[in-house]
């Protein structure tokens, strides 16, 4: 399989497995969670959309270098090509989040989180562009792996939100209705 070290291949496979597991389980949780008469908020819908699309993209992007290696063993082509595909996905995702959340985030801490995620995404895109062009650094797995791990982090955080926020809301609602006599 080209000159990619076996540890790099194992890392890519591991990321794909974790991403598909979280995405699949999130689909099951969301199905049962939104069956109730409650209407999901824009944040919940965008969060779930981010989680599912990033999880599935993570699986595809983890296996993309394997696919590219079936056409060429030249790693100076594999990493820039894979990075280019990741750049296109990340730019689409950043636009999706911006267009669907603009004007809908009223909580100051949520604004900071969205801004931070968009900033980190933009920095990773810059690293991936450098990985594609070879300007400033030699094309390799580093920036690509960073993009995959960041995507996995975003999936994990949204999975956490999907599971725990409804519980915390019910917990806080229950505290407010308790009266002492």
Reported as a single tens digit per residue, the pLDDT across 154-166 is 888 888 877 787 7
User: What is the arithmetic mean of pLDDT over 112-138?
Assistant: 90
Enclosing domain of residue 151: 6-166
171 occurs within a structural domain: no
174 occurs within a structural domain: no
pLDDT band (50, 70, 90) for residue 6: low
175 occurs within a structural domain: no
Question: Number of folded domains in the chain?
Answer: 1
Question: Mind listing the pLDDT tens digit for each residue in 60-99?
Answer: 999 999 899 889 888 888 999 999 999 999 999 999 888 8
Give the pair of three-digit tokens for residue 173.
Answer: 């609602």
pLDDT band (50, 70, 90) for residue 30: confident
180 occurs within a structural domain: no
61 occurs within a structural domain: yes
176 occurs within a structural domain: no
CA 101 from centre of chain: 16
């Amino acid at each position: 399989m080209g000159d990619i070290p076996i540890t790099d291949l194992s890392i890519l496979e591991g990321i794909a497995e974790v991403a598909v597991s979280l995405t699949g389980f999130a689909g099951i949780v969301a199905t049962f969670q939104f069956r109730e008469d409650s209407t999901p908020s824009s944040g919940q819908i965008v969060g779930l959309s981010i989680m599912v699309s990033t999880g599935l993209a993570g699986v595809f992007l983890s296996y993309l270098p394997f696919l590219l290696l079936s056409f060429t063993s030249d790693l100076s082509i594999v990493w820039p090509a894979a990075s280019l595909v990741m750049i296109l996905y990340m730019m689409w995702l950043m636009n999706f989040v911006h267009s669907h959340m603009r004007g809908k985030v009223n909580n100051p801490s949520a604004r900071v989180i969205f801004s931070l995620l968009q900033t980190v995404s933009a920095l990773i895109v810059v690293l991936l562009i450098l990985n594609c062009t070879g300007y400033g650094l030699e094309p390799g797995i580093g920036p690509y792996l960073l993009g995959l791990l960041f995507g996995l982090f975003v999936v994990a955080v949204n999975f956490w939100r999907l599971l725990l926020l409804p519980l915390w809301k019910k917990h806080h609602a229950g505290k407010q209705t308790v009266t002492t006599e």
